Amino acid sequence: MSDRVRITDVAPRDGLQNEPGGIPAREKAALVDALSAAGVDEVEVSSFVSPKWVPQLGDAAEVFSLISPRDGVVYSALVPNERGLSGAMEVRAASKARHGRALPDKLAVFTAASQTFSRKNTNATIEETIERFAPIAAACRGEGIPLRGYISCIVACPFEGAIEAAAVARVARMLVDLGVDEIDLGDTIGAGTPDSIGRVIEAVMEEGVGTPGARPAGGPHMTLHLHDTFGAAASCVERSLAMGVRSFDASAGGLGGCPYASTPGRRAPGNIATATLLQAIERAGLRAGAGRDIDPSAMHEASTLAATIASRPPANGGRS
């Protein structure tokens, strides 16, 4: 089994989607470039979602136009429907003309193991989201674009409470049948413990989702996307590494949270900080970065930049 662990930094997308205030596109692009300079394998740059639902990411096209792509780094974006797919395709064409490289070079669809969360986040049942994804999956296959499929609420839902591992496995099966290349398991509200996360990993592996050491031929590989509400994310990483998982998401500076996972009086929690993830990988005697080593001082700079960007005062001076 490989001793290298793939790292996707989701700070520009998950990290900034719930931040109040208008963060300029050039600052977001600077964060993307700082993360690619630090050596992460993938940067999740933004989302092509409805700006009515997530106004913070309404500038996805502009952010893509401002980044300086590096070889060996994947630049991805979320798409919820065909409208998002065509937005992403337009940006790919413009980026190809500008850099000779069509970016985003990977797309991600997102659904959930909880019906209530799925409706709140995308105005659709789980089954309806899968129907929306079919043309996206077909287009990705046609163009050779890798496709990630997120499943939110793998342990608990902010509205329904505990979620059974079997419910996650059912949705994983739908995504396997859709033909995604990667299944990303999202502990949206950071409720996971090593045992509950371990149960989900086992259940999802039984649906033909693999890890580098145990990957069924042609099946998607698994990534873990942890939010760190109760400080348990590092121990969940430790258990997952022991079970062979070799791909994780994290967010520089620990920013993050889905706006539709917030409940009255409680804002959705941040992702596991990239620095925390890197420490857990090192403690396990493994190496962070599937393609190359991560530069700790450049990562520190990127995390500082992420925190600075997020804590800037709202563009409207705090008035709503």
List residues near Mg ion by CB under 5 A: 14
Among 225, 270, 281, 306, binds ligand HMG (CB under 6 A): 225
Minimum distance, C-beta of residue 221 to ligand HMG, in the bound complex (Å)? 17
Q: Which of residues 62-91 bind ligand HMG (CB under 6 A)?
A: 78, 80-81, 83-84, 87
Place of tokens 């949705």: 171
Q: Binding ligand HMG by CB under 6 A: which of 56, 122, 223, 303?
A: 122
Give yes or no for a cis peptide into 104 (omega within 30° of 0).
Answer: yes
Element spanning 44, H or E: strand 42-47
Nearer residue to ligand HMG within complex by CB, 72 or 161: 161
- State the DSSP H helix or E strand holding residue 237, giving kind and residue range, or none if neither: helix 233-242
Contact call for residue 54 and ligand HMG (CB under 6 A): yes
Q: Give the helix, strand, coil percentages of the chain, each rounded to 5.
A: 45, 20, 35
By CB under 6 A, what part of segment 166-195 binds ligand HMG?
Answer: 186, 188
Q: From the candidates 140, 157, 236, 258, give the one annotated as an active-site residue.
A: 258
Question: 10 Å Cβ neighbour count for 37?
Answer: 16
Contact string (CB under 6 A) for ligand HMG, positions 239-278, x = contact: -------------------x-x------------------
| Active site annotation includes 258 | yes
| Per-residue buried b or exposed e for 47-75, using 16+ beta carbons within 10 Å of the residue's own CB | bbbbeebbebbbbbbebbbbbebeeebbb
How far apart are CB 217 and ligand HMG at their closest, in Å?
27
In sequence order, the β-bridge partners of residue 56 are none
CB of 52 or CB of 319, closer to ligand HMG: 52
**Which among Mg ion, ligand HMG, none contacts residue 150 (Cβ within 5 to 8 A by kind)?**
ligand HMG
Q: How far apart are the C-alpha atoms of 203 and 226, rounded to whole Å?
A: 17
Query: How is residue 227 written in tokens?
Result: 């939010």
Can you tell me which of 49, 168, 252, 290 binds ligand HMG, judged by CB under 6 A?
49
Q: How many residues of this chain interact with ligand HMG, rule: CB under 6 A?
A: 27
Say if CB 290 and CB 248 are below 8 A apart.
Answer: no
Only one of the segments 50-58, 162-170, 278-286, 310-318 lies at the binding site for ligand HMG (rule: CB under 6 A); that segment is 50-58
Pick the closer one to Mg ion by CB: 214 or 307: 307
Instruction: Let me know: does 17 contact 261? Beta carbons within 8 Å.
Output: no
Q: State the binding partner of 81 from Mg ion, ligand HMG, none, CB within 5 to 8 A by kind.
A: ligand HMG
Residue 1 CB, shortest distance to ligand HMG, in Å, is 26
Let me know: does 195 contact 235? Beta carbons within 8 Å.
Answer: no
Q: Is 274 helix (H, G, I), strand (E, B) or coil?
A: helix
* Rounded CA separation 88/136 (Å): 11
Q: Which two tokens stand for residue 95?
A: 């980026």
Segment 132 to 151, residues that bind ligand HMG, using CB under 6 A:
150
In the bound state with Mg ion, the residue whose beta carbon lies nearer, of 256 and 289, is 256
CA dist 298 and 254 (Å) reads: 16
Give yes or no for a contact between 65 and 26, defined as CB atoms under 8 angstroms apart: no
Residue, CB closest to ligand HMG: 186
Distance of CA 299 to the CA centre of its chain: 18
Which residues make up the interface to ligand HMG (CB under 6 A)?
A: 14, 17, 47-50, 52-54, 78, 80-81, 83-84, 87, 110, 121-123, 150, 152, 186, 188, 225, 227, 258, 260
* Active centre residues (catalytic): 258
